[in-house]
Amino acid sequence: MDSQEYLQMLKEYISTYKTLGGIFLFVGLFSFLNNHHQ
């Protein structure tokens, strides 16, 4: 496995984690706001 393959894999992992993190933050914020309005 050369460094080029490793970098490509790393980029894919990072973009996946960014997407998951964004969804998690959005859902967390949404439920937080919902709980405060009740």
Burial of residue 15, with CB atoms counted within 10 A of its CB: 0-12 exposed, 13-18 middle, 19 or more buried:
exposed
pLDDT of residue 38: 66
**Residue 2 backbone zone (phi > 0: left; psi -120 to 50: alpha; other: beta):** beta
Mean pLDDT split into 10-residue runs, the chain, 38 residues: 93 98 96 86
pLDDT of residue 37: 75
pLDDT of residue 19: 98
pLDDT of residue 27: 97
pTM: 0.57
